[in-house]
Structure 1
Amino acid sequence: MNDRTTMQVFAAGFNAWGQLDFSSAPSSPESLATDPQDLSTFTSILKTSTITDLQPLLASTHGENSTVLDITATFVVLAAALLTHRNSGLVLTSDGVQSAGFPSPFSKDGPLTRQLLTHQLAIAGNEKVAVISAPDTVLQYPTLAALEAGSPPEQVFTIPKTSAAAGSTSLSKPSILKVVAYQTGFALLSAGAIDSNSRVYTWGDERYSACLGRQVTGSTPADQPGLVEDLVDLPTGPIRKIAAGGYILLAVTEGNDLYAWGGHPGWSTLIHEISETPMAVDIDGQDIVDCGVGDQHAIALTSNGRLYVTGDNTNGQLGIPRAKKIQSWEEVSLSLREHGTITGVRAGGRTSFILVKSSTP
């Protein structure tokens, strides 16, 4: 007899609009449950049999979070603050789309919803929008409203072909795998058609050049996608995962090394010794298999299922009730024996999420 698999999403953090509550869908502020409370410890917000992944969207400067989940046989999407589409969320299940928080202006069956849920579209904190329109092309819009209105993009970017290997004359046409957003820009992960080695490109506001992780020159300006050369030919293999939020970007290699770069001038650093150059991050000597970064916090999952967090905890987003801020990586103690094993982590602007899998006879 086969065991029955159950998946759960646990969340911690900002919940003032009830956006982490998928048991009801308020239609107005007046219809919210009385004084929804932030979740200061990781709490189960969703249980189903078909979740295998979860992905975040960037929180906006409005600071009013939403949650977007896509529950299918393969993945679940969690998000925070959809800019002009604030205080709302979507859940796509085998039975259709459900909502959390205020009803979303997104069409439940519309193409934008699907693009949001599959990382083909990302919204930066400055309201700019990037959309993957072809395997090697990204469109940029000034706002989500401009995209919805059918306005032409303000920028069209084509990712250049790259050499398949050192000394090779063959060129590989890239295939853009995903695009993510931070406060003032974007990062994308692409794979070549010949060598399959992934590459990271960044672009955004030149005033926050540390987030680019690369040099800004006349041929590689800040506001156009440029290759992050320090993430090519790494000791433990190519990048397989990228995450972004606030003014920090993270990347994980095939060999489970974590890299970080970014920062805001004049602000304290979220990760010790972070700079404008991607650097390897050591977390108790652990192999890192997944990560997420919010406005001012980060979360990481190790290969042996240990959970680490760092940064701001004003809304309980670190899942550690006693602290307002943590200056270094700290392990979160979780009692998941009855719930199972953590298989993924993500971060919204002021929220953190973990995906847990369990089996019962």
Structure 2
Amino acid sequence: MTTEHSNGVAPHADADADTNDRLKLFAAGLNAHDQLDSSNDGRDVRAFTSIIIPDGGQASEGVRDVLFAGWSTTVLISRTGKLRSLGHQTVGDSEKQRLDSHSRPVSAFGDHNGLLGFLDLDGGLACCGTTEAAAEGGAAAFTTLTTEASPSLSHIALAGNERITVTFKQAPNGRLCHVVAFSDIDGFMAWYSDHSAKGNYPERHHMLPGRPKQLLANAATFLLLLEGGEVYSWGDPRHQSLGRTTHGGDATPAEEPGVVEALGGLRISKIASGGWMSAALSEDGALYLWGGSPPGAEKFLSRLREAGAGEVTLVELPGDGNEPPDVIDVAVGDAHVVAVTADHRLFVVGDNKNGQLGLDSAQAFFEDWTEVEALQDVQRVVCGPKASFAFVGAGHGNSAPNPNRPAT
């Protein structure tokens, strides 16, 4: 099975639901499977356009969050707590897919075909199952696989090379993070169904001091943020994707979680990852990037090209004064980055072949950070591999409506 990275697209666990219900979702980028806009006949969406959840051909529900954004499918959580999808995969067009407070997703994973599953707030696992309805083009059902004997998990991440990693839920006073890794989904599922069987043991088991806050994967690496602000990386070290050295001295080998030492002394509040690139956002509003372009890419950010192994790049966005603005959110695609400043402006950089920067431009690559002036009051952002999503204050999205879209 060919997979894509799961770049941390999952509901913001600390996001206020009432606040989210007042926001509007806009998106731009790859739309070959109508995963952004079903009225655009598979054409890429090159300017940020409002996203709606279709129901019988009409726009009937607002969007609370983006659960999963992939190559072919976008899965959303509606304001009424249902799973809805756009694109190749159809999920959640029945009342059974309504999410109560206990089944609320906190960590999702998927591949090029769509969403494969998610962990809920209580540490349970729900996976997509094949149903007669799905086989006939209907909705795929998500089934809870958790039993009393199942391990309780807090985070899950699937990399583009099919490797999968999970962390365990901890007691309120727990201070040891258990990380277990598998070579593929089949190995993980065998372990989850019977974790005591000798043949089902995880390929690797790591123990780190702290409590997990985020676990992400990109093309071939994993990134873990602990509540104390420490960032660990491991996996394939090519393209400087680990943000740290892996040879010489006391360096941690690539296949083991090692601290991104260049971020030492900083209290990181959020991480983002996609392709071969990662980002970290500090509590004081500083943004850091590391990694490289996907194999075969002709261009990439000049500052990242200049960075050496074990180095991260401090990003300075254009500002109105002498000081660059603070950053409050960031998301990373395969080869593009989007960031939100403290004054709620949206800046983008990188690959734009599919219009994923939302600038309504045919230019294929933007080397410098550029403001998306068509959107105002941006609150937070999400990226798919070749798409960008922005939540904005109601009434502040200025992009022109699609003339082919049904009236809301």
Using structure 1 for the length normalisation, give the TM-score.
0.72
Distance in 2 of aligned mates of 1:120 and 1:230 = 25
Matching residue of 1:329? 369
**Counterpart code for 1:82:** G
Matching residue of 1:302? 341
Matching residue of 1:200? 231
Mapped pair 1:39 → 2:45: yes
Distance in 1 of aligned mates of 2:205 and 2:20 = 47
Query: Could you give the per-residue CA deviations for residues 335-355 of structure 1, whole angstroms, max 9, x where no partner exists?
Result: 55xxxx321011110010011
Distance in 1 of aligned mates of 2:332 and 2:154 = 16
Distance apart, 1:231 and its partner CA: 0.9
Give every structure 1 segment of 4 or more consecutive aligned residues whose post-TM-superposition deviation is greater than 4 Å.
47-50, 53-57, 71-79, 87-91, 102-106, 108-111, 264-269
Matching residue of 2:289? 260
CA contact (8 A) 2:244 2:261 kept: yes
**Counterpart code for 2:158:** I
Matching residue of 1:115? none
CA contact (8 A) 2:52 2:62 kept: no
Mapped pair 1:143 → 2:184: yes
Distance in 2 of aligned mates of 1:110 and 1:269 = 44
- Secondary structure (helix, strand or coil) at the match of 2:241 reads helix
Change (3 A) 1:215 1:300: same
Instruction: Please give the residue correspondences for 1:20-35 in structure 2 after superposition, counting only pairs within 5 Å.
Output: 20-21=36-37, 35=41
Distance apart, 1:267 and its partner CA: 5.1
- Secondary structure (helix, strand or coil) at the match of 2:394 reads strand
Matching residue of 1:14? 30
**Counterpart code for 1:11:** A
CA contact (8 A) 2:245 2:251 kept: no
Instruction: Please give the residue correspondences for 1:62-141 in structure 2 after superposition, counting only pairs within 5 Å.
Output: 64-71=71-78, 72=81, 82-83=110-111, 86-87=113-114, 107=142, 109=144, 120-135=155-170, 136-141=177-182
Over the matched positions of the two proteins, sequence identity in percent amounts to 33
Distance in 2 of aligned mates of 1:202 and 1:280 = 18
Mapped pair 1:157 → 2:206: yes
Distance apart, 1:54 and its partner CA: 4.8
Distance in 1 of aligned mates of 2:287 and 2:164 = 27
Distance in 2 of aligned mates of 1:267 and 1:65 = 21
Distance in 2 of aligned mates of 1:297 and 1:56 = 17
Matching residue of 2:4? none
Distance apart, 1:358 and its partner CA: 2.4
Change (3 A) 1:240 1:109: same
Distance apart, 1:42 and its partner CA: 0.9
- Secondary structure (helix, strand or coil) at the match of 2:22 reads strand
Change (3 A) 1:288 1:55: farther
Distance apart, 1:122 and its partner CA: 1.1
Structure 1 portions without partners, runs of 5+: 24-32, 92-96, 112-117, 162-173, 192-196
CA contact (8 A) 2:154 2:169 kept: no
- Secondary structure (helix, strand or coil) at the match of 2:187 reads helix
Distance in 2 of aligned mates of 1:119 and 1:106 = 22
**Counterpart code for 1:226:** G
**Counterpart code for 1:45:** I
CA contact (8 A) 1:241 1:253 kept: yes
**Counterpart code for 2:253:** P
CA-based RMSD: 3.8
Matching residue of 2:194? none
Change (3 A) 1:105 1:222: farther
Distance apart, 1:299 and its partner CA: 0.5
Matching residue of 2:404? none
Instruction: Please give the residue correspondences for 1:214-253 in structure 2 after superposition, counting only pairs within 5 Å.
Output: 214-217=244-247, 220-234=252-266, 238-253=267-282
Query: Could you give the per-residue CA deviations for residues 217-237 of structure 1, whole angstroms, max 9, x where no partner exists?
Result: 466100110011221213xxx
Matching residue of 2:394? 358
Query: Could you give the per-residue CA deviations for residues 292-338 of structure 1, whole angstroms, max 9, x where no partner exists?
Result: 111111111111111111111111111122222111111111155xx
Structure 2 portions without partners, runs of 5+: 1-18, 54-60, 82-99, 119-126, 129-136, 147-152, 171-176, 192-199, 319-323, 397-408
- Secondary structure (helix, strand or coil) at the match of 1:273 reads helix
Distance apart, 1:68 and its partner CA: 2.9
Using structure 2 for the length normalisation, give the TM-score.
0.64
Change (3 A) 1:355 1:213: same
Distance apart, 1:77 and its partner CA: 8.3
